[in-house]
A = this chain, B = another copy of it.
């Protein structure tokens, strides 16, 4: 369905919505749990209660079989078809460290690497140097200037950093300089489409100047660039759905994706779920009618393959629900941005359970917030980016289509 139809029908009044995301919450049966998933194993009295008075379903963040990154997973939840609204890896790297991208910025990921005397790559990650050394190298690169553009170099983690070029006429149609394997030289900066002449010039000048600075360092004496992404402002949730949105998230990456959708950031004090609840309350007090709240640790425990911890993180989130109910939202949605099954230790393509509580719903069909019940819930299975229209409808924020 066309999201511009939803956009056209959106009203600037109606109920308030909480979108609470347990990152990576979906899972698969865990043998050690006797075939239960962490959601099934966890004791979740509060989620159970909401489920019994709400409606359950499951969403596909991108599509069947497609494993989403955190960017697409969240954009879908915010109502953006993630296949249409692409955010490049370079841009996500910048957002992930809290860098405020502007419209037209060209971002790329940097790998510090080890080159031999002939300039051939010996190690694409320079032995995974420490984040401290990475920060030192970045400091050494910061003085680089290029006429007509601003250059920002920022450390990420270990051998990874990122660079952002700000200036007119840039393009993302640039081939990675990282050949993806050792035994070759870094690739020359070449355009992959016409109109990228200026960007090629800028990036080549940056690499040339950086190479001189790094030349005599060790073990990282070179750099590889990849994931060139030109940042374009997205239409905001205000533009699209007449919402006045806020974000409550502890990690820069999720704050970054939320800011792409035009959400105002609310700080959490302390930096845990109790602080996030306070922040959500403040957002409601300020008249925000859409609050995105992010719980990270269900994902990190999944990526560690730690099903016991994942179940505990689910229980922690469950115990936060009374506080969330006190905020006074008209509609509460609980879901994840993707599944992170513990046995896989990775993001996966499996559908993600969704609970909508509040508004007129087909209630009483489900008893627990689990993958199994979600698959036969009243909401059915749908695309992640269709969630927004269900939330707007539940909050009475969508006009009727046609007479």
Q: A63-B386, A83-B1 are in contact. Are A69 and B363 (CB under 8 A)?
A: no
Q: Are A35 and B364 in contact (CB under 8 A)?
A: yes
Instruction: Closest B residue to A376 by CB, please name it.
Output: B376
Q: Are B1 and A364 in contact (CB under 8 A)?
A: no
In whole angstroms, how far apart are the Cα atoms of A86 and B377 in the complex? Answer: 32
Q: Are A375 and B378 in contact (CB under 8 A)?
A: yes
A193 in the interface (beta carbon within 8 A) = no
Q: Are A401 and B1 in contact (CB under 8 A)?
A: no
In whole angstroms, how far apart are the Cα atoms of A365 and B6 in the complex? Answer: 34
A400 to chain B: closest CB distance in Å?
5
Instruction: Closest B residue to A399 by CB, please name it.
Output: B67
A390 in the interface (beta carbon within 8 A) = yes
Question: Which B residues lie within 8 Å of A72 (CB)?
Answer: 401-402
A245 in the interface (beta carbon within 8 A) = no
Q: Are B66 and A5 in contact (CB under 8 A)?
A: yes
Residue interface mask A360-385, B partner, CB < 8 A = 1: 11111100000110011110111000
In whole angstroms, how far apart are the Cα atoms of A35 and B86 in the complex? Answer: 43
A118 in the interface (beta carbon within 8 A) = no
Q: A2-B83, A402-B82 are in contact. Are A365 and B372 (CB under 8 A)?
A: yes
Q: Are B401 and A64 in contact (CB under 8 A)?
A: no
Q: Are B71 and A398 in contact (CB under 8 A)?
A: no
Q: Are A371 and B362 in contact (CB under 8 A)?
A: yes
A231 in the interface (beta carbon within 8 A) = no
Contacting residues of chain A (68-87) with chain B, CB-CB under 8 angstroms: 68-72, 82-83, 86-87
User: In this complex, which of A35, A362, A364, A381 has the most chain B Cβ atoms within 10 angstroms of its Cβ?
Assistant: A362
User: In this complex, which of A376, A381, A393, A402 has the most chain B Cβ atoms within 10 angstroms of its Cβ?
Assistant: A402
Question: Which B residues lie within 8 Å of A350 (CB)?
Answer: 360, 362
A392 in the interface (beta carbon within 8 A) = yes
A29 in the interface (beta carbon within 8 A) = yes
Q: Are B398 and A66 in contact (CB under 8 A)?
A: yes
A24 in the interface (beta carbon within 8 A) = no
Stretch in contact with the other chain, from A183-191, A293-301, A339-347: A339-347
A93 in the interface (beta carbon within 8 A) = yes
A352 to chain B: closest CB distance in Å?
12
Q: Are A349 and B398 in contact (CB under 8 A)?
A: yes
Q: Are A67 and B403 in contact (CB under 8 A)?
A: no
Contacting residues of chain A (1-59) with chain B, CB-CB under 8 angstroms: 1-2, 5-6, 9, 28-29, 35, 58
Contacting residues of chain A (347-361) with chain B, CB-CB under 8 angstroms: 347-351, 360-361
Q: Which of B67, B344, B381 contacts A380 (CB 8 A)?
A: B381
Q: Are B28 and A65 in contact (CB under 8 A)?
A: no
Q: Are B65 and A403 in contact (CB under 8 A)?
A: no
23 pairs across A/B with beta carbons < 8 Å? A2-B83, A5-B66, A6-B66, A28-B362, A29-B363, A64-B386, A65-B398, A66-B398, A67-B398, A67-B399, A67-B401, A68-B401, A69-B401, A70-B402, A72-B401, A92-B402, A349-B393, A350-B362, A362-B372, A362-B375, A371-B378, A375-B376, A380-B381
Knowing that A344-B360, A349-B398 touch, tell me 18 more A-B residue pairs with CB under 8 angstroms: A1-B64, A5-B62, A5-B63, A6-B63, A6-B66, A28-B360, A29-B362, A35-B364, A58-B380, A62-B401, A65-B392, A65-B398, A68-B401, A70-B402, A86-B402, A349-B389, A365-B375, A375-B380
Interchain residue pairs A-B with the least CB separation, the first 9: A65-B389, A1-B63, A69-B402, A65-B393, A72-B402, A69-B403, A64-B386, A92-B403, A65-B390
